[in-house]
Amino acid sequence: MSLLLRLLVLISMALAAPAALAQERERIVFSVISTEQTEAVEALWMPFVQAMEEETGLDVELVSAIDYAGVIEAMRFGQVDVGWFSNLSGLQAIRLADAEVFAKTLYPGGQEGYRSVILVRNDSPLQTLDDLLVCDGSLSFALGDPNSTSGTLVPLAYIFAPRGIDPQSCFAQVTNANHEQTALAVANGFVDAGTNNTTNLDRLAQTRPEALAGMRILWSSPLIQTDPIIWRRDLPEEIKSEIFSFFLTYGFRGDAEQRTREQAVLETLFLGGFLPATDEHLLPIRRLELMRDLAETQASEALEEGERAARLEQIELALRELAVEERRVAVRELAADMTEARTRLATDEAGASADITRLVAEFLAAQPRIEVERRIRRATTGEITRGLLGLGAGLTLFAVMMIRSRPPRFGPSRLLSDRLIDAAIWSGLFGLLIWSFWPAEMFKFPLLGTNAPRMGEYIAGFFQLDLDGWEVYARQTLITVQIALWGTVVAVIAAIPFGLMASRNIAPVWIVQPVRRLMDAFRAINELVVAAIFVAAVGLGPFAGVMALALHTTGVLAKLFSEAVEAIDDGPVEGVRATGAGPMNEVVWGVIPQVIPLWASYALYRFESNTRAATILGLIGAGGIGQVLIQNIRSFEYGKTATILLIIIAAVTAVDLISQMLRKRLV
Partner 1 sequence: MAELHSALSIDRVTKTYGAATALSSASLVVKPGEMVALIGASGSGKSTLLRLASGLVLADPGSGAIRLFGEKVQENGRLSARVRRARARVGFIFQQFNLVTRASLYANAMLGSLGQIAPWRGVTGSFPNDVRKRAMDALERVGVADHAGKRAANLSGGQQQRGAIARALVQQARAIFADEPIASLDPVSARRVMRLLAELNAQDGMTVVVTLHQVDYALKYCRRAVALKAGQIIYDGPISGLTRERLIEIYGDEYRDVMDESVRA
- Report the half-sphere exposure of 317 (CA within 13 A, side-chain side): 6
For residue 539, give the nearest of 51, 178, 185, 64 by alpha carbon: 64
Q: 273 CB contacts (<8 Å, ≥6 apart)?
A: 105, 106, 110, 250, 251, 252, 266
Shortest gap between Cβ of 591 and partner 1 (angstroms)?
Answer: 10
Burial profile 70-98: b = 16 or more Cβ within 10 angstroms, e = fewer = bbbbbbbeebbbbbbbbbbbbbbbbeebe
Shortest gap between Cβ of 568 and partner 1 (angstroms)?
Answer: 11
Shortest gap between Cβ of 502 and partner 1 (angstroms)?
Answer: 20
Shortest gap between Cβ of 4 and partner 1 (angstroms)?
Answer: 11
Shortest gap between Cβ of 663 and partner 1 (angstroms)?
Answer: 14
In terms of CB distance, is 3 or 415 closer to partner 1?
3
In the three-class reduction of DSSP (H, G, I as helix; E, B as strand; rest coil), residue 139 is classed as coil
Residues 402, 423 contacting (CB under 8 angstroms): yes
In the three-class reduction of DSSP (H, G, I as helix; E, B as strand; rest coil), residue 22 is classed as coil
For residue 207, give the nearest of 76, 36, 371 by alpha carbon: 36
Residues 174, 140 contacting (CB under 8 angstroms): yes
In terms of CB distance, is 189 or 593 closer to partner 1?
593
Residues 194, 185 contacting (CB under 8 angstroms): yes
In terms of CB distance, is 548 or 595 closer to partner 1?
595
In terms of CB distance, is 47 or 572 closer to partner 1?
572
Phi-psi region of 490 (alpha: psi -120 to 50; beta: other; left: phi over 0): alpha
| CA-based radius of gyration for the chain | 31
In terms of CB distance, is 545 or 590 closer to partner 1?
590
Shortest gap between Cβ of 561 and partner 1 (angstroms)?
Answer: 17
Shortest gap between Cβ of 448 and partner 1 (angstroms)?
Answer: 48
Which backbone phi and psi does 63 adopt, to 5 degrees?
-125, 145
Shortest gap between Cβ of 586 and partner 1 (angstroms)?
Answer: 9
Binding site for partner 1 (CB under 8 A): 2-3, 571-572, 574-582, 584-585, 588-590, 593-594, 596
Q: Report in angstroms the alpha-carbon separations of 55 from 212, 234, 274, 524, 660.
A: 39, 21, 16, 47, 55
In terms of CB distance, is 465 or 507 closer to partner 1?
507
Residues 507, 542 contacting (CB under 8 angstroms): no
In terms of CB distance, is 536 or 596 closer to partner 1?
596
In terms of CB distance, is 338 or 588 closer to partner 1?
588
In terms of CB distance, is 379 or 666 closer to partner 1?
666
Which amino acid is residue 541, in one-letter code? G
Shortest gap between Cβ of 603 and partner 1 (angstroms)?
Answer: 17
CA 19 to chain centre: 29
CA 533 to chain centre: 14
> Mind giving me the DSSP string for 541-581?
SHHHHHHHHHHHHHHHHHHHHHHHHHTS-HHHHHHHHTTT-
In terms of CB distance, is 121 or 577 closer to partner 1?
577
In terms of CB distance, is 285 or 587 closer to partner 1?
587
Shortest gap between Cβ of 582 and partner 1 (angstroms)?
Answer: 5
Shortest gap between Cβ of 598 and partner 1 (angstroms)?
Answer: 12
